[in-house]
């Protein structure tokens, strides 16, 4: 993990002392997210409209969760609000690093029909995203259709990239799907079988990516012919005219949400942004820019059929992907991470 003081800026972090107190929270809010195209879409659909309406400026940074945990333990959280997966927030809750959510302060939750699982005690779900397989159409003679094709380095030759434990969950499910495990039989994960499958492809993996933006960079530079990546990153490459496509078969779905680090100063502004983000029109605006499905059912009605094509929870994509078992990962993540690190260093 990076040191607790390291940070990759998605926005400019200057003069933070002047407005990160409770009294100054109305002026400025520091939010951590994963950066890249995801941050770009949030800026346009959420942060800029929010600032226009409230006058609260949003500054974004890219901290790993371990960095925020370290900051909270030091009594000095450097962000007011985190945008991360509910799995990460489940871990942070166990470590007593998040403020409990006061749902009475979120008027857009009441009666919205958001699934209960997306409204835990210490976080607020906001969008469903997916890890998918993307590839360069100019580097492969035919399109890979599933993870078995991704693992088939003879018929689909060229360097690959997969996700490291440094950024999120290792992609053991993809290894198991490649090895023939059916979607509905993935959990509980057969860890031994998954690592055996990972070992078969390891020499063809140029990089186990450790930031959300990196796989798109590798693919865009033609340093790899295929990679796992977060769905919206591929859409951004395609918009740029890159010869890139992606496959929804075997997509792993997760829910991202909001969490307030324990001891954060600007809770008033944080709650205002959370509530603003759950407006149906704001949820829909984001989904039109990025492959992240709304958690608010009313937002779905604002999306066209074309908008829904690249959404993880569209009827078609629901059938070909799967939801990560958060309970299994929360219980087994530390053990898997330890084994991954030993495997990677071997």
Buried b (16+ CB within 10 A) or exposed e, 80-116: bbbbbbbbbbbbbbeeebbeebeeeebebbeebebee
The predicted pLDDT at position 26 comes to 54
pLDDT in tens, 217-226: 999 999 999 9
* Tens of pLDDT, residue by residue, the chain (346 residues): 233 333 333 333 333 333 343 434 458 999 999 898 899 999 999 999 999 999 999 999 999 899 999 999 999 999 999 999 999 999 899 999 999 999 999 999 999 999 898 999 999 999 999 999 999 999 999 999 999 999 999 999 999 999 999 888 899 999 999 999 999 999 999 999 999 999 999 999 999 998 888 999 999 999 999 999 988 888 889 989 999 999 999 999 999 999 999 999 899 999 999 999 999 999 999 999 998 899 999 998 899 999 988 889 888 888 999 989 988 998 999 999 999 999 998 8
pLDDT of residue 167: 81
Domains located in the chain, CATH noted: 28-128+255-313 (3.40.190.10), 130-253+323-341 (3.40.190.10)
Q: Which residues pair with 246 in a beta bridge?
A: 134
CA distances from 204 to 32, 49, 151, 201 (A): 33, 44, 9, 6
Cα(126)–Cα(139) distance, integer angstroms? 36
Half-sphere exposure in the Cβ direction for 6 (13 Å, CA) = 6
Three-state DSSP state, 124: strand
Question: Contacts from 282-288 at CB under 8 Å and sequence distance 24+?
Answer: 282/45, 282/46, 282/49, 283/126, 283/127, 285/44, 285/45, 285/46, 285/49, 286/41, 286/42, 286/45, 286/46, 286/127, 287/127, 287/311, 288/45
Cβ within 8 Å of residue 282, ≥6 positions away: 45, 46, 49, 276
Per-residue pLDDT, 127? 95
Query: What's phi and psi for 287, nearest 5 deg?
Result: -65, -25
3-state secondary structure 164-229: CCCCCCCCHHHHHHHCCCCHHHCCCCCHHHHHHHHHHHHHHEEEEECCCCHHHHHHHCCCCCEEEE
pLDDT of residue 57: 97
Q: What is the pLDDT of residues 152-199, one digit of tens each?
A: 999 999 999 999 998 888 999 999 999 999 999 999 999 999 999 999
Name the pTM for this structure: 0.77
């Amino acid at each position: 993990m990076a040191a607790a003081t390291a940070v990759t800026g998605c926005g400019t972090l200057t003069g933070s002392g002047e407005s990160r107190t409770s009294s100054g929270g109305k002026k400025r809010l520091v939010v951590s997210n994963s950066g890249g195209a995801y941050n770009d879409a949030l800026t346009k659909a959420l942060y800029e409209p929010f600032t226009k309406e409230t006058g609260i400026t949003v500054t974004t940074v890219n901290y790993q969760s371990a960095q925020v945990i370290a900051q909270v333990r030091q009594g000095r959280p450097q962000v007011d609000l985190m945008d991360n997966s509910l799995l990460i927030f489940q871990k942070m809750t166990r470590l007593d690093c998040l403020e409990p959510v006061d749902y009475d302060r979120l008027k857009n939750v009441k009666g919205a029909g958001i699934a209960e699982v997306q409204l835990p005690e210490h976080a607020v779900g906001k969008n469903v995203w997916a890890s998918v397989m993307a590839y360069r159409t100019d580097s492969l003679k035919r399109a890979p259709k599933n993870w078995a094709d991704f693992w088939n380095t003879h018929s689909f030759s060229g360097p690959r990239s997969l996700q490291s434990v440094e950024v999120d969950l290792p992609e053991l499910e993809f290894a198991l799907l490649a090895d023939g495990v059916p979607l509905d039989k993935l959990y509980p994960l057969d860890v031994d079988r998954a690592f055996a499958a990972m070992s078969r492809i390891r020499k063809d993996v140029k990089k186990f990516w450790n930031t959300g933006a990196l796989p798109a960079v590798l693919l865009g530079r033609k340093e790899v012919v295929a990679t796992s990546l977060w769905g919206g990153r591929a859409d951004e490459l395609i918009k740029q005219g890159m010869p890139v496509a992606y496959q929804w078969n075997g997509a792993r779905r997760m829910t991202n949400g909001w969490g307030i680090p324990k001891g954060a100063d600007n809770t008033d502004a944080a709650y205002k942004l959370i509530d603003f983000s759950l407006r149906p029109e704001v949820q829909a605006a984001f989904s039109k820019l990025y492959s992240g499905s709304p958690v608010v059912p009313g937002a779905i009605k604002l999306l066209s059929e074309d908008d829904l094509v690249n959404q993880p929870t569209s009827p078609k994509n629901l059938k070909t992907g799967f939801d990560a078992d958060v309970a299994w990962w929360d219980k087994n993540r530390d053990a898997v991470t330890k084994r991954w690190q030993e495997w990677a260093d071997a």
